Structure formats: C-alpha cells, structure tokens
C-alpha cells in the first residue's frame, strides 16, 4: 500500500469521506446564510453584527471555515497529484496551497473571534 505524507486522510477512501462531509457542512452553511438573507429583507449592519456575535453562529462559521480548508486541501492535493508530474514542482505547489490554507484559516479565526 502506498502512503503519502501530503494526503489529508489516511487513505483515498478517508479523503473521499472527508470531501463529502465537508461538502455537506458547506452546503448547510450556504443554505442557512441564503435563507437568513432571504427572510431578513431589511438586513442592515446591526442585524448582521448581532448574528455573528451569537456563539452558535461563530461555531457554525468556524465549522464552515475548517470544512472549506479541508475540502480545498484535499481537492488541490488530488489535482496536483493527478496533473503535476514533476515532483519538485508538485511539492512547491502543494506547499504553497498548504501555506495559503493555513494563513486563511488563521486570518478567518482572527476575524471571527476578534483575536
């Protein structure tokens, strides 16, 4: 069995399952936000701020942020291993994707929790 240090999960099946679970979490978050905006026609900054001050919404948003990061990493890893054949270039691409994902997650947490 071939294992890879850059894969998010332990196996292809595990990565596939993470992709599906994160897709469901992202879909739920998107549907919730669309519904909130649809049923709050006079949405202003104060209502938006109050929504994101709620701890449950912050946790839901954090779940969506982490889901997006995992989903994107697995997708980019799959694309890079399929289409970028030179090992050095693939390593650089995957390193850049990993670094950017980390930066976006940290930045998102700072914005979300006001750290």
pTM of the model: 0.86
Distance CA 102, CA 68 (A): 11
Annotated binding site for heme: 71
- State residue 74's pLDDT score: 94
12-113: in CATH 1.20.1300.10:
yes
Sorted by sequence, the CB contacts under 8 Å of residue 80 that are 6+ apart come out as: 90, 93, 94, 97
Q: What is the pLDDT of residue 1?
A: 43
Binding residues: 71, 83
Mean pLDDT by 10-residue block, N- to C-terminus, for the chain (115 residues)?
54 90 98 96 94 96 98 94 95 96 97 85
pLDDT for the residue 7? 59
pLDDT at residue 114 in the model? 85
Which three-class secondary structure state does DSSP give residue 60?
helix
Q: Residues marked as binding for a ubiquinone?
A: 83
pLDDT at 99: 97
Q: Can you tell me the distance from the alpha carbon of 70 to that of 22, in angstroms, rounded to the nearest whole number?
A: 7
């Amino acid at each position: 069995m071939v294992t890879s240090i850059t894969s998010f999960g332990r196996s292809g099946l595990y990565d596939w399952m993470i992709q599906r679970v994160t897709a469901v979490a992202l879909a739920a978050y998107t549907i919730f936000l669309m519904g909130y905006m649809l049923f709050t026609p006079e949405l202003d900054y104060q209502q938006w701020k109050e929504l994101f001050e709620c701890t449950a919404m912050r946790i839901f948003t954090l779940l969506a942020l982490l889901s997006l990061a995992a989903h994107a990493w697995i997708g980019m890893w799959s694309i890079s291993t399929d289409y970028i054949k030179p090992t050095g270039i693939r390593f650089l691409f995957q390193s850049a994707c990993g670094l950017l994902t980390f930066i976006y997650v940290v930045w998102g947490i700072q914005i979300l929790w006001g750290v």
